[in-house]
Structure 1
Amino acid sequence: MRILGIDPGLQVAGFGVIDMDGQHLHYVASGTIKTTHMERSDLPGRLKVLFEGVCEVVERYQPDAASVEIVFVNVNPQATLLLGQARGACITALVSSQLSVAEYTALQLKKAVAGYGKAGKAEMQEMVMRLLKLPSLPGKDAADALGLAITHAHVGTAMARLAQAGGTASQMTGNYRGGRSR
């Protein structure tokens, strides 16, 4: 199974692609989609770049599933709204490519990858490097995206088993293919 992780951002969105073969995870690719070269006031143009960038990544790597970080509300409501729009562009690109999309919070991501919810960026980069046996540290945004793919590889399998057993997996993560579930 090939999993694509997306760490949404309006200036820099990270992506990470891994293959899951049983319990083994294999690095495929990672990188960023940037809008920093554009005017900050050109929100529609920047959202278009994100949408098209995610579509290009999906076309190139042909993932079977995707995972995206859930946006948290921060001190600046305007920044939260802008990040939400960037996230929406990324999710729309994934769904328009016929991918199921799982959502994970930063806390879930950090617990799944680093073992505790208050792990810093450097700790996340180090753990992603170790888990995927990379020769060097991935960039911060790419590390978070790879971490989301790793999280889905671990958590998504358990959620699928719960769903098959009649559990409440759909309450724990969003699924955009058939409409948002809660």
Structure 2
Amino acid sequence: MKYQGKNSILSKSKAPVLCGEVRILGIDPGSITGYGIIDTNFNQKQTIIKTSGLKGIQNSNKLQRMPNDCIYVASGSIDLSFKKPFHLRLKNLYNSLIDIIKEYSPHEVVVEKVFFSKSVKSALNLGQIRGVVLLAASSQNLNIYEYSALEVKKAITGYGRAEKRQVQEMVKRILFPNFNTHVLSFVLNEDASDALALTICHMNTIRLEKAYKMASMQYK
């Protein structure tokens, strides 16, 4: 494997086992590209998780609807910051993503949208990295979905302007409710956590869409 930081502490299965289960691969493009994989069932009901423990989130006593049956599969990162020509780093990214897709057999891929960057050069580089991510996923005939950072934060914490650490904390609460937070700090780096947040956002979005559709059909 060319990718680094692979973590699979709860499940080493390469394909979903339960009927109707979907495997989602989240990818957070960047100089260190994070990835995260979960199994879920879009037809399952949602539970309610309190966000009151997260400091700084507006309306912190508000209950946030989140899924309770998503299963962590794996996560990690692909480091593109090493000193090699950029085209070789992109090649390594592509090969690493193909390896991950073939190993874990996801059904859907979720990628973060990018709206701004600190400089023209970094924007161009990030655009090329995203292009490689989209190419790798589409070359394996996978469905691709995109969400903005604001959409992800709102789906995870209930507040679109939440800080990154607050999103990371909620990801841990959702995926690892019984694990020690200090242990998880070694398991989930920042980039992997962002990628897992994408998968949870997508899962929650699809479930809400299905719920609205079913509700509208009942009133017709």
**Global fold match (TM > 0.5):** yes
Q: How many residues align?
A: 163
Assess if the C-alpha contact under 8 Å between 1:6 and 1:69 holds in 2: yes
Q: TM-score, normalised by structure 2?
A: 0.69
Unaligned runs of 5+ in 2: 1-21, 46-68, 216-220
* Structure 2 CA distance for partners of 1:153 and 1:62, relative to 1, 3 Å: same
Aligned counterpart, 2:78: 33
Aligned residues: CA RMSD: 2.1
TM-score by length of 1: 0.82
Q: Deviations over 1:53-81 (max 9, x none)?
A: 11111111111111000012223122111
Q: CA deviation at 1:19?
A: 0.5
From 94, 108, 111, give the equivalent of 2:151: 108
Residues 89 and 164 of structure 1, relative CA distance in 2, 3 Å threshold: farther
Higher helix share: 1
> How far apart are the structure 2 equivalents of 1:131 and 1:74?
30
Structure 1 window deviating more from structure 2 (30-39 vs 91-100): it is 30-39
Q: What pairs with 1:1-182 in structure 2 (closer than 5 Å)?
A: 1-9=22-30, 11-21=31-41, 22-23=44-45, 24-39=69-84, 42-133=85-176, 134-135=179-180, 136-137=184-185, 138-159=188-209
Distance in 2 (CA, whole Å) between partners of 1:100 and 1:85 is 20
Structure 1 unpaired stretches of 5+: 166-182
Deviations 1:93-124 (A, max 9, x none): 01101100000000001111121111222111
SS at match of 2:142: coil
Partner SS state of residue 3, structure 1: strand
Runs of 4+, deviation exceeding 3 Å: 157-165
Counterpart of 1:169 in structure 2 is none
Larger Rg: 2
In 2 relative to 1, CA 35–75 (structure 1 residues): closer, same or farther, beyond 3 Å? closer
